[in-house]
């Protein structure tokens, strides 16, 4: 996803400097070319050899190294960068940049670059809360700098509070967003994901095998492309993507209420959740006991049809549904498209080993209002998400769609 993109990573002097090594691994794994710039203080915590080994490039830290300056230097670093990240960013570094100071290789590179600059502060919680620091950060934010704020946690000083550097995965996610085309800016996507659970008694429930991976991939991709994302999710083992507005629910009725509460804010609705079609007609207040040789009949009733309800309320919104089927996939999907007033439905055979609920790949067919059909071959779910968002963007803007047919690899 970052193949060939050029990132300059600045590392300053704080205990969180060791976590910058993990961030380098994230960038390199995604295909980026990483140049690391270290301050003198950073080298007291981590050796340059660590970053050179992980990045595959020499580490830069001397402002007046004539041999190095001839080849790369702070101006060449600044010009080459497509994104400049500082992690960790100390209060000292933020203060110097806010004051326009440039007294080492990192600060001169920051002031010379025209690339976006992303800062991940890390410091003692009192330093973080200090009005002088907050003024410095606000000044930089107003000037167009980007921040991933620290989180609450146990700090190196023994205190617990806000000041711990954000997780490398979170910084990476924001980096990808800053390097992605913001072609969904201005859109608010309401996305549902995962299964629902319908309780039988206090310890048992009816559910399905949905992992939430497809819905979460769509949420992640949409956030990277500039959309505001409202993610309503049933129970999953997944971490919500950084930057999305997350609402966790359990039952179909809870999902319905959460979706309707957010409906007015949305411009696009993507219903990727596998909502249970049935629930017990009554819930036992205590655990149902098993008798020797006994048989039990379970009476079920239908859950609310959220997608059909949205189809009657969509107004100018774009409504996208999913059809997880095991047989007659296109026939069932086409009926669902028409019956629920959808603009587009994504159909797939979840009985396939490589395209079911719990795997990272999918093979889907898109059916549009008006009869258009697109069949996509096997792709990873994030690739499916981006391709689906391409179609959503085109429909929202009235742009022509690609020629229908098979696509994928």
Give the domain 188-277+301-407 fold.
Rossmann fold (3.40.50)
User: Averaged over 113-139, what is the pLDDT?
Assistant: 97
Query: 70 pLDDT exceeds 70?
Result: no
Assign domain 6-178 to its CATH architecture. 3-Layer(aba) Sandwich (3.40)
pLDDT, mean over the chain: 93
Which of 157, 260, 288, 401 is an active site residue?
157
Same CATH topology for 6-178 and 188-277+301-407: the answer is yes
Token digits of residue 94: 């933020």
pLDDT digits (tens, 9 = 90+) for 311-340: 999 889 999 999 999 999 999 999 999 999
pLDDT digits (tens, 9 = 90+) for 75-106: 889 999 999 999 999 999 999 999 999 999 99
Every domain of the chain and the residues it spans: 6-178, 188-277+301-407
Confidence of residue 408 (pLDDT cuts 50, 70, 90): very low
Contacts of 287 (CB under 8 A, 6+ apart): 201, 202, 203, 204
Q: What's the full length of the chain, in residues? A: 409
Q: Give the H/E segment covering residue 301.
A: strand 300-302
Confidence of residue 409 (pLDDT cuts 50, 70, 90): very low
pLDDT digits (tens, 9 = 90+) for 16-40: 999 999 999 999 999 999 999 999 9
Coil, strand or helix: which one is 396? helix
Side-chain-side CA neighbours of 23 within 13 Å: the count stands at 29
Instruction: Check residue 292 and give its pLDDT.
Output: 76
Instruction: Check residue 73 and give its pLDDT.
Output: 63
Instruction: Check residue 67 and give its pLDDT.
Output: 47
Q: What percent of the chain has pLDDT over 90?
A: 87
For this structure, is 157 an active site residue? yes
Q: What percent of the chain has pLDDT over 70?
A: 96
Output the pTM of the full model.
Answer: 0.91
Instruction: Check residue 66 and give its pLDDT.
Output: 46
Instruction: Check residue 68 and give its pLDDT.
Output: 52
């Amino acid at each position: 996803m970052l193949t060939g993109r050029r990132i300059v990573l600045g590392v300053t002097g704080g205990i969180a400097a060791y976590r910058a090594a993990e961030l380098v691994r994230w960038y390199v794994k995604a295909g980026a070319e990483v140049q690391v710039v270290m301050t003198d203080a950073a080298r007291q915590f981590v050796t340059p050899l660590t970053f050179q080994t992980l990045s595959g490039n020499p580490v830069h830290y001397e402002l007046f190294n004539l041999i190095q300056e001839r080849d790369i230097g702070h101006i060449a670093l600044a010009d080459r960068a497509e994104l400049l990240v500082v992690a960790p960013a100390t209060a000292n570094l933020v203060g110097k940049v806010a004051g326009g100071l440039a007294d080492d290789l990192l600060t001169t590179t920051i002031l010379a670059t025209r690339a976006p600059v992303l800062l991940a502060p890390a410091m003692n919680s009192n330093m973080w809360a200090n009005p002088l620091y907050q003024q410095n950060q606000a000044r930089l934010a107003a000037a167009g700098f980007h921040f991933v704020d620290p989180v609450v946690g146990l700090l190196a000083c023994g205190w617990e509070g806000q000041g711990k550097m954000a997780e490398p995965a979170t910084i990476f996610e924001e980096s990808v967003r800053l390097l992605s085309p913001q072609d969904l800016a201005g859109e608010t996507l309401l996305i549902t994901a995962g299964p629902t659970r319908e309780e039988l008694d206090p310890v048992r429930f009816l559910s399905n095998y949905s992992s939430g991976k497809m819905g979460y991939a769509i949420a992640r991709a949409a956030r990277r492309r500039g959309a505001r994302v409202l993610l309503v999710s049933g129970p999953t083992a997944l971490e919500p993507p950084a930057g999305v507005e997350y609402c966790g629910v359990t039952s179909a009725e809870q999902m319905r209420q959460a979706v309707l509460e957010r409906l007015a804010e949305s411009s696009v609705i993507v219903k990727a959740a596998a909502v249970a079609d049935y629930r017990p007609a009554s819930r036992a207040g205590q655990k149902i006991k098993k008798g020797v040789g006994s048989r039990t009949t379970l009476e079920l009733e239908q859950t609310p049809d959220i997608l059909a309800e949205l189809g009657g309320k969509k107004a100018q919104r774009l409504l996208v549904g999913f059809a997880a089927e095991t047989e007659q996939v296109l026939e069932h999907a086409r009926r669902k498209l028409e019956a629920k007033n959808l603009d587009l439905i994504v159909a797939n055979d979840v009985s396939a080993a490589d395209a079911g609920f719990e795997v990272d790949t999918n093979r889907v067919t898109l059916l549009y209002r008006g009869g258009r059909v697109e069949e996509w071959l096997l792709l990873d779910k994030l690739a499916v998400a981006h391709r689906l968002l391409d179609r959503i963007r085109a429909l929202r803007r009235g742009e022509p769609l690609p020629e229908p047919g098979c696509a994928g690899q």
